[in-house]
Amino acid sequence: MNNPEQKKAWYKQPLVLMIIAIPLSAVFGGISMIYLAITTDDGLVKDDYYQYGKQINLVLERDIEAKRISLAGKFDFQPVTGIVSVQLTTKTGTLPATISLEMLHATRAGQDQQTELALTADKEYHGLIKELVPGRWYVQLTTSQWRLNGELQHPGQTKIEFTTN
């Protein structure tokens, strides 16, 4: 016969298991948060933000120079191959042999890319970039004298028209 006063083992008691499960889930949650913090880079704050802020006037001068020489361009990106081609026009008629392309992710600085584009015989700049993660991308074409800015929504958009108005 079963005696109703017979006691269950402590590990078979539901209340004990619930008391153990709550702190144990907090430990697992904490370990997963530490893992995410170590393995991902949010990159939202620049280490030298003060120096970066002081240099903003230099950046604005490059935008003004692009406007002064009536710089305009067309950007074409092939997502499958990673090939980038850029056509630039200017009223001065002289274009540099290379320009710098920066692909800046709107929220994840760890995904940013930079590459040099070389001027080819067909009067276009060509280069390669790695695969882009989905999202909004800021595209910057720069030299030491001027800068052009544009935005690209990936996937879906592969072309940009740069104007300096």
Q: Where are the domains of the chain?
A: 10-39, 49-162
Contact 138, 149 (CB under 8 A): yes
In this prediction, what percent of the chain has a pLDDT beyond 70?
Answer: 83
User: 148 - beta bridge partners?
Assistant: 141
**Mean pLDDT within 93-107:** 80
Inter-residue contact 164 to 66 (CB < 8 Å): yes
pLDDT above 80 for 36:
yes
Top pLDDT among 2 and 152 is at 152
DSSP, residue by residue, 48-113? THHHHHHTHHHHHHHHHHHHHTT-EEEEEEETTTTEEEEEEE-SS----SEEEEEEEESS-GGG-E
Q: So what's the pLDDT on residue 35?
A: 92
- The 10s digit of each residue's pLDDT in 109-165 is 777 788 888 888 778 888 888 887 788 888 888 887 888 888 888 787 777 777 776
pLDDT for the residue numbered 29: 95
CATH architecture designation of domain 49-162: Sandwich (2.60)
DSSP assignments along 99-156, one per residue: EEEEEEESS-GGG-EEEEEEE-TTS-EEEE-PPPPSEEEEEEEE-SS-EEEEEEEETT
Judged by DSSP in three states, 4 sits in coil
Instruction: Give me the pLDDT at residue 120, please.
Output: 80
